[in-house]
Amino acid sequence: MNITLNNPYAKEQLKAQVTLMQVIDPELGVNIIDLGLVYAVNFSSTAVIHIDMTFSTSHCPLGDAIKQGVMHALTSAFPDHKININIVWDPEWNYDMISEAGKQQLGLD
């Protein structure tokens, strides 16, 4: 997830990113930002937050729990916004998407 500082919603995107770091993948024990599961967070002028994210596999048994965690975290942080979560499979998630902090937590470095 990249935040462009000249974006008029950069402050909100940063807040959303920090908020989503509280959402932990229950199977791996690492937050979804460091796992690279969140591809984009975009804010609209109509108070809608659009999330493009994925799961580590299309058959993720805890996908619904992760999605509910995202919804709960963002609703708490942005109570006046509608949350739109879009699960995408392109690009396909892989281990290269995990941040250095995530790799350390998983013991992969």
pLDDT for res 108: 87
Q: Indicate the residue type of 55.
A: F
Per-domain boundaries in the chain: 10-95
What pTM value is reported for the model? 0.92
The mean of the pLDDT values for the chain is: 94
CATH architecture of 10-95: 2-Layer Sandwich (3.30)
Residue 102 CA, distance from chain mean position: 13
Q: Say how far apart CA 31 and CA 44 lie, in whole Å.
A: 25
Percent of the chain having pLDDT more than 70?
99
pLDDT in tens, 53-89: 999 988 888 999 999 999 999 999 999 999 999 999 9
